[in-house]
Structure 1
Amino acid sequence: MMRIFCRLLLIIIPLTISLNAEAQDHMYSQFFNSPIYLNPALTGQFQGDLRMNLIYRNQYTSVPGSLNYLSGSIDYNVPQFGGGLGLLFTRSAEGTAYLNKNNLAGTYSYSVGSEEYVLSFGLQAGITNRSVDYGKLVFSDQIDPRLGYIPGTGTAADPPLFNNKFYFDAGAGVNFTTGNFNLGAAAQHLNRPDESFTGVPAKLAIRATMHASYRLNLTWDDNLDDEDKPYVIPSVVVYRQSQTQAISAGLQYKRRSINVGAWYRTGGPAGPNAFVISLIFDLFINKEGGEKMRFGLSHDVPKGGLNYTNTSGTTEGSVGYETTLPSRVNAEHKFIGARRCYDFY
């Protein structure tokens, strides 16, 4: 199975090597709290039966023209095939011209494996709507040499053919877990949809993601339950889209219901590097029934280029809910005893 997984990685990752496009997807610092956005193969990969996640990113708070991103998902664990079904909604709002993008996608995952390893495959398909308010744009003939821009001034610029566009979008991913090691990869926009408003083709570049984590037990006291043991979990996430590449590397300290993380992210040509700190709390509502809430908060401090003084950094907030359905209490789950991807976050 490892040979099959390596072949899949070789197929997914190089797809972006020779692609060129200006549009870039946003990335979340709390990638572990937006699992389906990270990789559709993580659909249904959790301990309970039903999971809901919501994450919001406010980027460069004090820079004119808002950069806001939101993703909400719900997925259902289907124990018979070790995977699940999910629904993902993602919205981005960028700039004073309100360049908005809304995507609604369905996801599916299926797993094979044993007590020694679990290999999951995921598919994603959905519809994206992209729109812009041209009335908010300012052109050169609207700027007076002495007075600057005067609101209400007309322009001779020809408006593009469209200000609203729908297109089909597809993605896929794989995830492999064995022992204390987790490795995954995903590719989005596999069909390279045309985002153009003008009629001149503007193909959206494929976004490739690769993520890896290792779980290090800090105590060997066998008298402690697994959830009571302290862990350090180093992780790395690599994003590549067109000529832009970003790497996020760091670690988390996890014990019981508290998770503290520190990361360093390279921004590449698209933005500055940044230090990231995160704090995650798990609140167990009904621990025996597998019901819990998760609250997450992270903050990015840019380094170089756009610095903290003129951006105020980037803040993310997330909330998650997970529960076990009464009708599924005695359901038979596959790969009992095997380490799963959710053990790392």
Structure 2
Amino acid sequence: MPFLLKRLLLISIAYCLLPVAFAQDLHFSQFFNTPLTTNPANTGFIPDADYRIGAHYRSQWSSILTAPYKTTSIYGDAQILRNKFENGWMGVGGVVLSDIAGTGSLRSTKVYGSVAYHQMLGDASLLSAGFNLGWVNKRIDLSKLTFPSQFNGKFFDGSITANYPNFVATNVSYFDMQAGLNYAYFPDENTYINAGYSIHHVNRPTETFFSSNGDSSRIAMRHIGFVNAILKPNDRVIINPNAYYTMQAKASELVVGLNANYNLSEAGEKQLIAGVYYRVGDAVIPMVGFEIKNIRFTFSYDATTSALKNFNNLQGASEFNVTKKGFYSEYNGDTRKVLCPKF
């Protein structure tokens, strides 16, 4: 196929996909490493630590777009008031997300604060409920877009003054809210099972750069369900299977897979991480990582399996995550139950 024709096909496919992508929320392949954006009930739900902080970066479609999608997330959460409730505690946290998409530099900035409550049910299960409230801003640079008024009969001419039809704003802000539930079951020190469900955009905020048109300008609720397990077959290996499903409007996504940790030291301070996931109908996602002294680094790559693979050479998206977990110094002598298998 001639290079120019192939390039035109790539651009056509990418731009056919853009409206769908803009209509959907930000998402990560390593959903298990972005707990607060997956479910607000995860806030302070840290089975093997007292607090955690993390950062996440995703770059998508760099092989077919001159301006690939880039998403960054920074979050932190902690357990508090553990001595104020009988067999329970509170969790507080926050997350900041930044996203840049497309040639028009569609920029999204999201800042959320999260609160959750966790209650032990006997000695082998835990129920959690949480919500978050945030501020969202989206803006677009019209000077980086081309419009029909700039077509001179042969090609688009940037020197021609553009006519921006129907745009009434290039910067919009609104408040947003999510809520969720979690349930964990841990019958013994080698087994941990967790499932959760959350609803995003509970308040269905209005988001548009054009004149508001009733329900068509309001964000559809997004539903997310997940289930995972942490299994310890021996002192060297921990296996972590995961499944994740999300649905918003007419779009849905299912990701399944597992990763495993291999202990390289007596105390488990050094671990190798490897795994593979599959986004049904879209991509195979291998992942590798390393953990040292409660700091975990993981890298994954989306290898496209859909029809787009014929044009992007399997090059979908790359993600990098770093997470730090720790304990409060004042709780060094605490004998509270650890809620997941440990090396």
TM-score range, shorter chain: 0.7 to 0.9
State the match for 1:32 in structure 2: 32
Code of the residue aligned with 1:74 in structure 2: it is G
State the match for 1:278 in structure 2: 287
State the match for 2:142 in structure 1: 134
The answer as to whether partners of 1:260 and 1:280 remain within 8 angstroms in 2 is yes
The answer as to 2:103 corresponding to 1:99 is no
State the match for 1:258 in structure 2: 272
In structure 1, runs of 5+ residues without a counterpart are 1-19, 220-227, 268-272, 285-291
State the match for 1:54 in structure 2: 55
Partner Cα separation in structure 2 for residue 192 and residue 309 of structure 1 = 36
The answer as to 2:322 corresponding to 1:319 is yes
| Cα drift, residue 196 of structure 1 | 1.2
The answer as to 2:70 corresponding to 1:68 is yes
Code of the residue aligned with 1:262 in structure 2: it is V
Partner Cα separation in structure 2 for residue 210 and residue 150 of structure 1 = 47
The answer as to whether partners of 2:131 and 2:179 remain within 8 angstroms in 1 is yes
State the match for 2:266 in structure 1: none
The answer as to whether partners of 2:288 and 2:300 remain within 8 angstroms in 1 is yes
The answer as to whether partners of 2:45 and 2:118 remain within 8 angstroms in 1 is no
Identity of aligned residues (%): 26
Aligned to 1:96, what secondary structure does the other structure show?
A: coil
State the match for 1:42 in structure 2: 42
The answer as to whether partners of 1:280 and 1:294 remain within 8 angstroms in 2 is yes
Code of the residue aligned with 1:127 in structure 2: it is W
TM-score normalized by the length of structure 1: 0.81
| Cα drift, residue 119 of structure 1 | 0.9
Partner Cα separation in structure 2 for residue 131 and residue 157 of structure 1 = 15
State the match for 1:310 in structure 2: 312
Query: What is the aligned-residue RMSD (CA, Å)?
Result: 2.2
The answer as to whether partners of 2:166 and 2:211 remain within 8 angstroms in 1 is no
| Cα drift, residue 82 of structure 1 | 3.0
| Cα drift, residue 99 of structure 1 | 0.8
Q: How many residues matched?
A: 299
Partner Cα separation in structure 2 for residue 215 and residue 156 of structure 1 = 56
The answer as to whether partners of 1:83 and 1:120 remain within 8 angstroms in 2 is no
State the match for 1:288 in structure 2: none
Q: More deviation in 120-129 or 75-84?
A: 75-84
| Structure 1: 4+ residue segments shifted above 6 A | none
| Cα drift, residue 22 of structure 1 | 6.9
The answer as to whether partners of 2:253 and 2:280 remain within 8 angstroms in 1 is yes
Partner Cα separation in structure 2 for residue 322 and residue 232 of structure 1 = 19
In structure 2, runs of 5+ residues without a counterpart are 1-19, 187-191, 264-270
Partner Cα separation in structure 2 for residue 293 and residue 107 of structure 1 = 23
The answer as to whether partners of 1:21 and 1:242 remain within 8 angstroms in 2 is no
Which of 174, 178, 196 in structure 1 is aligned with 2:181?
Answer: 174
Aligned to 1:215, what secondary structure does the other structure show?
A: strand
Taking a change above 3 Å as real, the CA distance of residues 255 and 308 of structure 1, as seen in their structure-2 partners, is farther
The answer as to 2:251 corresponding to 1:235 is no
State the match for 1:3 in structure 2: none
State the match for 1:195 in structure 2: 207
Taking a change above 3 Å as real, the CA distance of residues 208 and 132 of structure 1, as seen in their structure-2 partners, is same
Aligned to 1:327, what secondary structure does the other structure show?
A: helix
Partner Cα separation in structure 1 for residue 102 and residue 75 of structure 2 = 25
Code of the residue aligned with 2:26 in structure 1: it is H
State the match for 2:230 in structure 1: 215
The answer as to whether partners of 2:146 and 2:158 remain within 8 angstroms in 1 is no
Q: Deviation string for 1:43-92 (max 9, x for gaps)?
A: 11223333111000001112223211111101122234334100111111
Q: 1 or 2 for the larger relative contact order (CA 8 Å, sep ≥6)? A: 1
Aligned to 1:212, what secondary structure does the other structure show?
A: strand
